[in-house]
Amino acid sequence: MTRVVIGLGFRPAAPQASIAEVIAAARDAAAPAQPKLLATPTDKSAYPPLIAAAEAAALPCLAIDASTLQQASARINTHSEQVHRARGVGSVCEAAALAAAGPTARLTVSRLVSRDRQATAAVAIEETT
């Protein structure tokens, strides 16, 4: 079984268009793999523009708690000091994707950033036999 997940991070006032942009970019970059799930930190999971973007993309969104994000952060590629100070991980989207995909997941797409720099996405995959 293969699990492919798009992890998302975004600023507090990110518009739906920015979140949708990075979801689409992540899907394109992950091809031919087909992401089946979005993941984001628990405190951002009820954000209305995220919910609208997830519905438009026809992807469910999994909330990832802070401790699980931190556990996955050992496997991230991107290390932003600003993000680390604010969130405790170097890349929210990469940590969320890895945490949701599974303990042996790897990144297939590192952090992608929306044109307005309001949203980020990454893709992780876990292949099990």
Q: Mean pLDDT for each consecutive 10-residue tract of the chain (129 residues)?
A: 91 96 97 95 96 97 93 85 79 94 93 96 88
> In the prediction, which pLDDT does 127 show?
80
> In the prediction, which pLDDT does 129 show?
63
d(C-alpha 129, C-alpha 127), whole Å: 7
Strand order in the sheet with 119-127: 61-64, 37-41, 2-10, 119-127, 106-113
Amino acid present at 99: A
Q: Are 38 and 5 in contact (CB under 8 A)?
A: yes
> In the prediction, which pLDDT does 109 show?
94
Listed residue (48, 85, 89, 49) closest to 65, CA to CA: 89
Domain 2-127 matching CATH 3.30.420.180: the answer reads yes
